[in-house]
Amino acid sequence: MPKVIPFKACRPARDKAGLVGSRSFIEYSEADLNDKLINNPYTFLHVIYPDFGTPNYVSESSTERFKHVRAKYEEFVKEDVLLRDKEPGFYIYRQCKDGHVYTGIIGGVAAEAYRNGKVKVHEHTITAREQMFKEYLKVTAINAEPVLLAHEHSDDIDLLINSITTERADFEFTTTDRVTHYLWPVFDASIINQISDGFQKLDAFYIADGHHRSASSALLAEDNPNSEVSQYFMCYMLSERMMNIQPFYRFVNGLNDLSEDEFIQKMEEFFIIESSDEAVNPTCTQEFGMYINHNWYKLTTKQQWIDAEHPVKQLDCCVLQVHVLDEILGIKDAKTDKRIEYQGGHIGTAGVEQLVNSRRYDVGFTLFHVTMNQLKRVADTNNIMPPKSTWVEPKLRSGLVIYEF
């Protein structure tokens, strides 16, 4: 099993925790981002955007920008917005959202485990982004958002978590997106050893979110073999039973010069098509919803087109890509073709109707989510999923627990 270690975290002062933690910057609209930066002097977004409000623009991928990030981070520490723990620990983090409760452990995971395949991947990474993130880590010397890792359920770890979370959390606050956050630091040496032993009994971790951060951390470790702290990166380790995997819905502009009737007729080669008076939210694999011209259809893949033996070809997103997007609509490269766009399944069928009815798209497809077993099978066989296969929750915040190199 990958080595997992406690570490001395840097964390927000207790009275500012709810103000410091921020969502990923890509989740904010420009207006919301400006509002946060103008009205909240403690948000970690000031560290991510250190030049906000200044006249000098610095490229977001430049070393100079990374130095500004580091300087702003040190300013937060100097002003006691962020406080350094005096001893190493694990950190139990819980997030409650929309009836889902996620409780796992934040710790340091050996970068060597990523290189030797004990931290398993299911997505491609882009070399240029890996190098850029590596330079970011080298200059800023912090992990501010943990990589999300799934692992096989462990009764031992579960019992430890349950025993600790009966006590009042060190942090407990609710954010404006109606998510409640809790954090329990664990500094007791005996419990730390039990947590470490529990992880040692597991076989592997699976990256649920954070492929590029993992890859760049591994590169940093290779560049700094004599730095013990650089040999680890911060991860949030969560039982696979708690993972909430949602699909990405597909939306297409244009029907490749086909009429609506011609398009549906071509699809009948691959799917059993049924008109539906209700919105179609698939309840099993090989079932799809299609919304076009104010009408819903339920699509069921015909048996002869299901490759149950191949870990990737059996995925619903792959079936849709091959038989509809590629063969019928002529979308050969789903990563670059501007006719296709993606939205997380959290928008629901009402969101699909709104986007298609607005004529932003001609057709929208709802899919069933990739299961945890499917994700693991892809990773275990060293295969790679198509783009935008999974929308994974929980979405973690930056600045709540920080790992310093």
Split the chain (405 residues) into runs of 10 and give each run's mean pLDDT: 93 97 84 92 95 77 94 98 98 96 98 96 90 96 98 97 97 95 98 96 96 96 95 98 95 96 97 97 96 98 91 94 95 88 93 96 97 96 90 94 97
d(Cα 37, Cα 35) in Å, to the nearest integer? 6
Tokens (6 digits) for 305: 């087109």
Strand segments, DSSP code E, in 253-321 are 271-276, 287-292, 295-301
Domain segments of the chain as ranges: 4-245+393-404, 248-388
pLDDT of residue 59: 80
Q: What does the chain come to in residues?
A: 405
Architecture of the CATH domain 248-388: 2-Layer Sandwich (3.30)
Q: What is the value of pTM for the model shown?
A: 0.92
Residue whose token pair is 């935008």: 388
**End-to-end C-alpha distance for the chain, whole angstroms:** 23
The pLDDT value recorded for residue 28 is 84
